[in-house]
Amino acid sequence: MTAIAPETRLGSTVANLTEDTSKNLAAAIQWQAIATDLREAPIETSFVQLGQGDRPLLCLHGFDSSVFEFRRLLPQLAEQHSVRALDCLGFGFTERPEGIEISPDTIRQHLWGCWQAWYQKPIVLVGASMGGAIAIDFALNYPEAVAGLILIDSAGIAPGPWIGRFLPSPLDGWAVDFLGRPDVRRRISERAYHDPQRWVTPDAETCAALHLQQPGWREGLRRFTRSGGYGSMRSRLPELRQPTQLLWGRQDQILGTKDAAVFQRLLPQSELVWIDDCGHVPHLEQPRATAEAIATFVATLPT
C-alpha cells in the first residue's frame, strides 16, 4: 500500500485545488495492488481511508467520477465510522488494464477483490448514482459480504446509464472528447446541484476533471459504454434482504424523484429519507445532513 505525492499520480492541475476538503482528500489518496481473477497481475487501485469503527463503510462513486466525489462527506462520516471511498475499475485513479473489459461483471469482480483484501466481513456499501447500481449488483451476487446498503440518488430503475441523456451510447472517440470539454462538464455539474451558483466553483470543476488526465481515461469510458453499463434492476430488487436506506435530493434534476418511491416499494427492507434544498449529489451539496442520516441508519443495523 502506497501514499504518493498528489501531483505525481493526480496530475499537475491538483495544484489548482483551493478548498481544504479537496486538498485534504488529494493528500490522503493511496494505492494498493488488488488481486483479482481478471488477470494474473494485481490491479493498482486508488482509495481513501479515514476514521475508525467496528462497522466499516465503503463509498462507491458515480459515472465518470472518482473518490473526490466524497471529499465533503468522508470527514463527516469519519467522526464515527471507519470509511473508505474506492475508485472502481475503469474510473477515477485506479489502473485501467489493457485487455480487460470494463463492464458491470468486471467492476464487481474487482470490488470482490477489494472486499477480500480489506474486510472479509459484512460491510455497509454507500453508492451514489451509478455507485448505487454497483452496490446493488454486488449485494445481489455476494449477499454475505453486505450488511446494509445506502443508496444516494441511485441508478438502477431506469434502463441504461443516465449519461445517455447527454451523449449517444456507446461512446465513440468524438463523444468521449465531447464529454471531456470543460463547458460540457460544467453544464452537467450545474444540473446536478440545486444551488449551482454556490457549488459549481473552480475548485469543484478541478475535482471533477482531475481523473481525465489518467492513462486510458478515454478508452476506459468507451469500453464501459460498449458493455451496456447498468440497466434496470427492477426485477431483482425484491431479492435484496439487506436493510437499505434511500437518500434522495428533493430537487434532483438528473434522475428526477420518481425512482425513489419505486426503490422503496420494491426493496423489502428500505427507508426513504429526503434531503431538502438538494439536487442529485446530497453528499456534496448537503454533506452534514447526509452524514447524520447515514449515522442514524447504521446505528440500527445488527452488529
CATH of the domain at 116: 3.40.50.1820
Is residue 232 assigned to a domain? yes
Q: How many domains does the chain have?
A: 1
Is residue 7 assigned to a domain? no
How many alpha carbons lie under 13 Å from residue 140 in its C-beta half-sphere? 18
| Structural domain for 173, as ranges | 35-300
| Cα(21)–Cα(97) distance, integer angstroms | 30
3-state secondary structure of 113: helix
Contact present, 41 and 69 (Cβ < 8 Å): no
Is residue 9 assigned to a domain? no
Is residue 8 assigned to a domain? no
Is residue 120 assigned to a domain? yes
Is residue 295 assigned to a domain? yes
How many alpha carbons lie under 13 Å from residue 282 in its C-beta half-sphere? 28
Contact present, 175 and 150 (Cβ < 8 Å): no
pLDDT tens digits in sequence order for the chain, 303 residues long? 555 555 668 988 999 999 999 999 999 999 999 999 999 999 999 999 999 988 899 999 999 999 999 999 999 999 999 999 999 999 999 999 999 999 999 999 999 999 999 999 999 999 999 999 999 999 999 999 999 999 999 999 988 654 544 455 555 666 777 788 889 899 999 999 999 999 999 999 999 999 999 999 999 988 898 888 898 999 999 999 999 999 999 999 999 999 999 999 999 999 999 999 999 999 999 999 999 999 999 999 987
Cell 468521449, located at residue = 176
- Identify residue 220 by its one-letter amino acid code: G
Is residue 28 assigned to a domain? no
Is residue 267 assigned to a domain? yes
